[in-house]
């Protein structure tokens, strides 16, 4: 138990100059602190593994800082479950998630990329020439699994407008009762000005913002991660034209088999997470 407690502390709190603790460092600390006379890193790993404790691993995250986080996130979660302001969406209501994938570079490798062979992976030349960068703006129909996307030299209101026009001039969106557009707080669609601007462009379009620093609530980000893994990594493009062609071809191919994402996170789950964060924040405040 003492070794598990040791593993669950930050290295700086232990007064050691590490960023993370390995199993061997935990074993060494246990001996130095008199917990045991001797112990191997393998034994430490076996004990920690039983409780899924891995102090050598970490992940980055952003603490919620939007004062209206629960309200804004709740509206988005309701839309994913086809509810708005406490009422069920009708068959002529649609939910769109939109965002920009910025500064996608085209890197031309200085030596040809080689395919894999028996006993050897494919090889990608480390050095490259920068051939420029472009932005990809995309929209995802949450409940119908439809994709819309455009490549532009950069992001901005004009690029977002082009995406909106691409979607809203097509059926069923142009004649829909309401089309909810879920976006983050990027400069292309930030604040009340963006809400009014979208309404001027299309009277049946409603802009709904996610909380600040909550891109995980935007379902189009899931597609962006699929695009990154499937089409953009490794990065080997001779030109921006080749990069744009790859992105749009992948979009078309993905849409042929796409199904709505199975979104299970609800308002109830959100309340539980926020309650846990609030308790942790109170602990930090008392400790300070």
Q: Which helix (H) or strand (E) holds 103?
A: strand 93-109
Question: Which residue is it, tokens 């929209």?
Answer: 139
CA 67 to chain centre: 21
Please, which pLDDT band fits residue 288 given cuts at 50, 70 and 90? low
Tens-place pLDDT, residues 110-139: 999 999 999 999 999 999 999 999 999 999
pLDDT of residue 62: 78
DSSP state of 179: E
Question: Which residue is it, tokens 């020439």?
Answer: 129
CB of 250 closer than 8 Å to CB of 231: yes
CB atoms within 10 A of CB 87: 9
Tokens of 46: 């076996």
N- to C-terminal Cα separation, the chain: 26
C-alpha distances (whole Å) from 20 to each of 62, 140, 251 are: 19, 39, 40
Q: Is the dihedral of CA 286, 16, 58, 22 positive or negative?
A: negative
pLDDT of residue 65: 84
Residue closest to 220 by CA, chosen among 263, 191, 187: 263
Please, which pLDDT band fits residue 64 given cuts at 50, 70 and 90? confident
In order, the DSSP letters of 255-279 are: HHH---------HHHHHHHHHHHHH
Tens-place pLDDT, residues 3-44: 999 999 999 999 999 999 999 999 999 999 999 999 999 999
Tens-place pLDDT, residues 246-286: 999 999 999 999 999 999 999 999 999 889 888 887 877 77
Q: Which fold has domain 69-114+123-257?
A: Nucleotidyltransferase; domain 5 (3.30.420)
Please check the confidence at residue 287 and state whether its pLDDT lies above 80.
Answer: no
**Dihedral class, residue 86 (left if φ above 0, else alpha if ψ from -120 to 50, else beta):** left
Quote the pTM value.
Answer: 0.86
Tokens of 209: 């913002």
Tens-place pLDDT, residues 78-103: 999 999 999 999 999 999 999 999 99
**Domain range list for the chain:** 2-50, 69-114+123-257
Residue closest to 210 by CA, chosen among 62, 86, 104, 89: 62
Tens-place pLDDT, residues 146-199: 999 999 999 999 999 999 999 999 999 999 999 999 999 999 999 999 999 999
CB atoms within 10 A of CB 175: 9
pLDDT of residue 114: 93
Taken as a whole, the chain contains a residue count of: 288
Alpha carbons within 13 angstroms on the beta-carbon side of residue 109 total 12
pLDDT of residue 60: 83
Q: Say if strands 178-183 and 205-209 run parallel, antiparallel, or are unpaired.
A: parallel
Mean of all residue pLDDT scores within the chain: 94
Residue closest to 140 by CA, chosen among 36, 39, 217: 217
pLDDT of residue 82: 97
């Amino acid at each position: 138990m003492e070794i598990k407690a040791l593993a669950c502390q930050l290295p700086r709190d232990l007064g050691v100059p590490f960023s993370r603790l390995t199993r061997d460092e935990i074993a060494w600390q246990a001996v130095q602190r008199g917990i045991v006379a001797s112990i191997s890193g393998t034994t430490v790993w076996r004990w920690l593994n039983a409780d899924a404790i891995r102090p050598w691993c970490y992940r980055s995250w952003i603490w919620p800082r939007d004062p209206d986080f629960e309200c804004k996130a709740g509206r988005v979660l309701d839309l994913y479950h086809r509810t708005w302001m406490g009422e069920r969406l009708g068959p002529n209501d649609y939910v769109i998630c939109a965002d920009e994938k910025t500064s996608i570079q085209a890197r031309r490798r200085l030596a040809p990329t080689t395919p894999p062979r028996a006993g050897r992976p494919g090889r990608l030349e480390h050095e490259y020439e920068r051939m420029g960068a472009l932005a990809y703006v995309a929209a995802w129909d949450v409940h119908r699994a439809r994709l819309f996307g455009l490549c532009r030299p950069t992001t901005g209101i004009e690029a977002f407008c082009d995406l909106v026009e691409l979607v809203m001039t097509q059926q069923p969106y142009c004649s829909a009762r309401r089309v909810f557009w879920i976006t983050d707080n990027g400069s292309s669609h930030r604040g009340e000005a963006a809400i009014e601007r979208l309404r001027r462009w299309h009277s049946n379009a409603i802009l709904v913002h996610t909380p600040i620093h909550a891109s995980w609530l935007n379902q189009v980000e899931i597609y962006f991660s699929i695009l990154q893994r499937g089409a953009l990594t490794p990065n080997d493009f001779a030109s921006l034209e080749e990069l744009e062609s790859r992105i749009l071809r992948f979009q078309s191919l993905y849409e042929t088999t796409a199904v709505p994402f199975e979104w299970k996170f609800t308002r109830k789950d959100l309340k539980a997470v926020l309650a846990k964060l609030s308790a942790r924040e109170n602990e930090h405040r008392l400790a300070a």
